[in-house]
Structure 1
Amino acid sequence: MQKFQFIPLPPEKFDETMALIKEVKNQLKYLQENFQPKIPTEYLTRHEVASLLKVDISSVHNYTKRGLLQSYALSGRVYYKRSEVEGALVKLQQKKG
């Protein structure tokens, strides 16, 4: 059996509390509609990039040297952001003919 306790509250405090509850509800609704969870950055090794692009590892090295791919280093290891590798691919224009 639940017990309820009634607390005397002046009307102006009740109105303030209700306005605060309404504001919190509006903010929660906004967050539910607009929240975009952050996807963690996925890092790939040179071998994984080569496998993803179906090229030799020397091609990955050349793409990096030419500035087509941006590399990142940590403790002597080279990594690439998956999103940047996929973003480096360009759409080809079809010839009308």
Structure 2
Amino acid sequence: MKSLQFIGLEPKTFIEDLKSALIPELQKRLSKEFQPKQPTEYLTRSEVCQLLKIDLSTLHNWRNRGILEAYGIGNRVYFKRSEIENYIEQNKLNQLK
């Protein structure tokens, strides 16, 4: 950030110098912290089975055991893609402990 010298400045000049020093820094910091949120992608049972290359009975078993969490509307069942990907990532076979 450039240094401000404000002794003997007009108030208007001081405000402009202050803005030119602060605004770019604030914009840079805010743009790092506030990224647009990606919408949640929900997958059907068949889409999950296709993604993981498993059959419906395996998916049903994993759901009952609490491995994958399901969401429903009416009689429809959905899974969050991000949760499936996170679960796979957390269960790497070659993790260093």
Given residue 13 of structure 1, which amino acid in structure 2 is its aligned partner?
Answer: K
Structure 1: 5+ residue stretches without partners: 1-9
How far residue 92 of structure 1 moved from its aligned partner, in angstroms, is 2.0
Residues 19 and 65 of structure 1: CA distance in aligned 2, closer, same or farther (over 3 Å): same
Whose radius of gyration is greater, 1 or 2?
1
TM-score by length of 1: 0.72
- 1:28-47 equivalences under 5 Å are 28-47=27-46
Q: Aligned partners of 2:92 and 2:29: how far apart in 1? A: 36
Given residue 79 of structure 1, which amino acid in structure 2 is its aligned partner?
Answer: Y
Given residue 93 of structure 2, which amino acid in structure 1 is its aligned partner?
Answer: L
Q: What's the % identity of the aligned pairs?
A: 45
How far residue 21 of structure 1 moved from its aligned partner, in angstroms, is 3.1
How far residue 44 of structure 1 moved from its aligned partner, in angstroms, is 0.4
Q: Aligned partners of 2:32 and 2:61: how far apart in 1? A: 44
* Alignment partner of 1:65 is 2:48: no
Q: Which residue of 1 aligns with 2:93?
A: 92
How many residues are treated as equivalent by the alignment? 85
Q: Which residue of 2 aligns with 1:50?
A: 49
Structure 2: 5+ residue stretches without partners: 1-8
TM-score by length of 2: 0.72
